[in-house]
Amino acid sequence: MLLRYRYRIYPTAPQRQSLARSFGCARVVYNDAVAARKHAHREGLPYPATTALSKALITDAKHTTERAWLSEVSAVVLQQALADADRAYKNFFASIKGKRAGSRIGPPRFKKRSNTQSIRFTRNARFAVLGNGRLHLPKIGNLKVAWSRDLPSAPSSVTIIKTPTGRYYASFVVLVDDGAELAEPIPDEDAETGIDLGLKSFAVLRGGKVIDSPKFFRKLERKLKKAQRALSRKTKGSANRAKARIKVAKIHEKIKHTRADWVDKQVHRIVAENQGIYVEDLHVKGLAKSRMSKSTADAAFGMFLTRLESKAARTGRTFVRVDRYFPSTRSCSACGALTGPKGLKGLKVRTWVCECGAEHDRDANAEINIRREGKRLVAAGQADT
Ligand SMILES: [Zn+2]
């Protein structure tokens, strides 16, 4: 399977200049491709193929005075920018046709200098990790990398990223042996858990074990709001506005990293303790809207499920998504009757008593139902694992 390995890099001042040139050229080629396709669409012409654009926007453009500087950067970087534009359009078309998971996406937009910048080098570009630990990039130089962990094998590509706060990263794509992370199976039959996601707490596991939403989510959110308000008060084009914008971007980055760290910790623990993991296939967006609007925790749900599924697959755990229309909250886990809380009003009900006399904690009951349904699906050979 393909995995990404990301490291902070520290380019020197001249290297930063070369990178800026490459970012700029890649952005221009990307934007030219988007412009060409917008134009074709307006004129009722067929979708311009990447090969045709490659000739017009790279090969031929290098011979014009306006675009001659494109020859100063690696050709692979420019080709990859075209590939990115093509992929953005393919995603957009798939989204219109309803063939893409997630919410509808709009047509590709022009890239701006102030956004995150990136360029990609494939093997053709002859990038290399040198014996001294430096990363060699053609037409840029040998960059210093903070190797926070080892690359498991030779990478097939590397993307160089510059964040709006001025940090640089190298993100390698590495083919990893599918068995590389396999964990010892846990023979204990009880080493299984359902996961009921997010209402009062982040998640409830077997035995009513609660994973709380970390406090720093809210704290960082408040900080972000404050910085955003400060930004909105600054005069357009002023130096103070630029400073305030960087401050907002820094908090966004901090939120992203803190959230990823926290999610990884939870995933790691659940996979270490359970052979079978059963989750409700939540419509995460709907959940976010109705329950905890705009909270940082929302974004964590999607990330949590994605990383849990992938970690479970890599380590050889059973991971099953239970249909999201399965009435995990409403069913009584003792008798099966649909006597539990329902609807928006039911969101506040924490405990309830079924007609059969069983007393339930809402989330603990849901976890039992999810786990049972997940096991049933596995036994019936219907689990999509
Ligand atoms: Zn009952």
Do 196 and 155 lie in one domain? The reply is: no
Using the mean position of ligand 1's atoms as its centre, give its distance from the Cα of residue 338 in Å.
8
Q: Which residue has the higher pLDDT, 28 or 200?
A: 28
Do 47 and 125 lie in one domain? The reply is: yes
Q: Which of 63, 82, 77 is nearest to 21 (CA)?
A: 77
Q: Are strands 192-197 and 276-280 parallel, antiparallel or unpaired?
A: parallel
Using the mean position of ligand 1's atoms as its centre, give its distance from the Cα of residue 339 in Å.
7
Using the mean position of ligand 1's atoms as its centre, give its distance from the Cα of residue 345 in Å.
20
| Model confidence band, residue 292 (pLDDT cutoffs 50, 70, 90) | very low
Give the span between the Cα atoms of 62 and 80, in whole angstroms. 16
Number of domains in the chain: 2
3-state secondary structure of 1: coil
Using the mean position of ligand 1's atoms as its centre, give its distance from the Cα of residue 360 in Å.
9
Using the mean position of ligand 1's atoms as its centre, give its distance from the Cα of residue 192 in Å.
23
Using the mean position of ligand 1's atoms as its centre, give its distance from the Cα of residue 180 in Å.
45
Give the span between the Cα atoms of 190 and 207, in whole angstroms. 11
Residue 328 lies inside a defined structural domain of this protein? yes
Using the mean position of ligand 1's atoms as its centre, give its distance from the Cα of residue 359 in Å.
8
Using the mean position of ligand 1's atoms as its centre, give its distance from the Cα of residue 172 in Å.
53
Do 20 and 150 lie in one domain? The reply is: yes
Give the residue carrying structure tokens 């053609």.
138
Query: Would you call 43 a catalytic residue per the annotation?
Result: no
Q: Which domain holds residue 244?
A: 192-379
Residue 334 lies inside a defined structural domain of this protein? yes
Q: Say which range, 188-202, 215-229, 277-291, has the weakest mean pLDDT.
A: 277-291
Looking at residues 198-209, what average pLDDT do you find? 84
Looking at residues 335-340, what average pLDDT do you find? 92
Give the span between the Cα atoms of 196 and 384, in whole angstroms. 19
Give the model's pLDDT for residue 293.
45
Do 266 and 368 lie in one domain? The reply is: yes
Residue 312 lies inside a defined structural domain of this protein? yes
Assess contact for 38 and 114: CB atoms under 8 A: no
Do 30 and 153 lie in one domain? The reply is: yes
Query: Would you call 280 a catalytic residue per the annotation?
Result: yes
Give the span between the Cα atoms of 140 and 16, in whole angstroms. 9
Strand (E) positions, the chain? 2-10, 117-122, 128-129, 135-137, 141-145, 155-162, 168-175, 192-197, 203-204, 210-211, 276-280, 318-322, 351-353, 359-361
Q: Which tokens go with 19?
A: 């990178």
Residue 181 lies inside a defined structural domain of this protein? no
Q: Are strands 128-129 and 135-137 parallel, antiparallel or unpaired?
A: antiparallel
Give the span between the Cα atoms of 299 and 259, in whole angstroms. 9
Among positive and negative, which fits the CA dihedral 47, 52, 53, 57? negative
Given the residues 32, 363, 367, 373, the one annotated as active site? 363
Given the residues 196, 309, 367, 373, the one annotated as active site? 196
Is the pLDDT reported for residue 101 higher than 80?
no
Is the pLDDT reported for residue 158 higher than 90?
yes
Give the span between the Cα atoms of 372 and 82, in whole angstroms. 48
Read off the pLDDT of residues 315-332 as tens digits, 9 standing for 90 and up: 889 999 988 778 888 999
Among positive and negative, which fits the CA dihedral 254, 258, 259, 260? positive
Given the residues 280, 298, 367, 373, the one annotated as active site? 280
Q: Which of 274, 293, 253, 288 is nearest to 209 (CA)?
A: 274
Q: Which of 193, 201, 125, 180 is nearest to 156 (CA)?
A: 125
| Model confidence band, residue 181 (pLDDT cutoffs 50, 70, 90) | confident
Q: How far from 367 is each of 190, 320, 352, CA to CA, in Å?
A: 14, 13, 15
Give the span between the Cα atoms of 126 and 333, in whole angstroms. 59
Do 127 and 207 lie in one domain? The reply is: no
CATH of the domain at 264: 3.30.420
Give the model's pLDDT for residue 338.
92
Query: Would you call 196 a catalytic residue per the annotation?
Result: yes
* CA trace torsion 370, 376, 377, 381 (10° rounding): 160
Residue 186 lies inside a defined structural domain of this protein? no
Among positive and negative, which fits the CA dihedral 310, 313, 315, 319? positive
Is the pLDDT reported for residue 354 higher than 80?
yes
Is the pLDDT reported for residue 283 higher than 80?
no
Average pLDDT, the chain: 88
Select from 120, 142, 175 the last residue of a domain.
175
Using the mean position of ligand 1's atoms as its centre, give its distance from the Cα of residue 75 in Å.
67
Give the model's pLDDT for residue 102.
65
> To the nearest whole percent, how much of the chain has pLDDT over 90?
61
